[in-house]
Structure 1
Amino acid sequence: MNLPAEAVNALHTFQAAAGWEQRARLLMQWGDRLPPLSEADKSETHRVHGCESQVWLVGKLHDGHWQFAASSDARLIRGLVALLLARVNGLSAQDLQQVDLPDWFNQLGLSRQLSPSRSNGLNAVLQRMNELAIALPF
């Protein structure tokens, strides 16, 4: 499966990082670049359940390709979510179902930093993306 351009950019950036400290700094920077969600989007309707931190997710379908926006109240989680968005934005619903989350974060060199609760939270976000894609298939 082809990676979206933003995902290729993320891979190159994180693979070039020298060690965890630099990756952690990059992670925060990626999270800070997320466009803010409106207060309306930070509603219970858009909250992802299964995350210890608060995470909100909205998605729109454009010409058969999904574009998601998200935010979190936790800075580290915002960075991880930003990297997830880089991986999935622009995918079709079918390609979205093929995303291997552990493999993606492993390629970025971040898998060891994913605690079970963070991993579960990110899986919940990806699951919610798939639910949205199934609910609006076209």
Structure 2
Amino acid sequence: MSLPTEAVAALEAFQAVGSWEQRARLLMQWGERLPVLPDADKVDANLVQGCESLVWLVGHLQNGHWQFAANSEARLIRGLVALLLARVNGLSTAELQAVDLPGWFERLGLSRQLSPSRSNGLNAVLQRMRELSRAP
């Protein structure tokens, strides 16, 4: 499966830095690039269940391809969510179902820095995306 343009950009950026400190800084920068979610979208119905931090997620299908928007109050989580969005935005429903989350963060060089709770939270975000994509 080919990667969306944003995902390729993320991979190139993260593979170009060596140390964890540089990756952490880059992660924060990706989080800062997330568009602000309107307050109207920050409602309980859009909260992702299973995250320790508050994460709101909205998505819509546009010409057969999914576009998601999300945000979190936690800076590190915002960066991780931004990288997840880079990986999934523009995918079809079938492609979204096939996304390998651990593999994606492994390729970015971030998997060892993902605590079990962060990993679970990101899995919950991806699960919610999949649920939205299957909704009638």
Query: What's the TM-score, normalizing by structure 2?
Result: 0.99
Q: State how far apart, in whole Å, the 1-side matches of 2:132 and 2:20 are.
A: 33
Identical positions, percent: 74
Q: State how far apart, in whole Å, the 1-side matches of 2:26 and 2:42 are.
A: 25
Q: Secondary structure at the match of 1:35?
A: coil
Question: How many correspondences in the alignment?
Answer: 136
Q: Secondary structure at the match of 2:41?
A: coil
Deviations 1:31-52 (A, max 9, x none): 0000000111010010000000
Q: State how far apart, in whole Å, the 2-side matches of 1:33 and 1:95 are.
A: 24
Q: What is the root-mean-square deviation in Å for CA atoms of aligned residues?
A: 0.5
Aligned to 1:57: 57
Runs of 4 or more off by more than 4 Å in structure 1?
Answer: none
Q: State how far apart, in whole Å, the 2-side matches of 1:72 and 1:113 are.
A: 19
Q: Secondary structure at the match of 2:50?
A: coil
Q: State how far apart, in whole Å, the 2-side matches of 1:19 and 1:43 are.
A: 37
Deviations 1:80-137 (A, max 9, x none): 000000000000000000000000000000000000000000000000000000004x
Structure 2: tracts of 5 or more residues without a match: none
Paired AA for residue 130 in structure 1:
R
Aligned to 1:122: 122
Q: State how far apart, in whole Å, the 1-side matches of 2:47 and 2:40 are.
A: 11
Matches within 5 A, 1:1-138: 1-136=1-136
Q: Secondary structure at the match of 1:59?
A: strand
Paired AA for residue 99 in structure 2:
V
Structure 1: tracts of 5 or more residues without a match: none
> 1:18 deviation in Å?
1.7
Q: State how far apart, in whole Å, the 2-side matches of 1:95 and 1:68 are.
A: 14
Paired AA for residue 18 in structure 1:
G
Query: What's the TM-score, normalizing by structure 1?
Result: 0.98
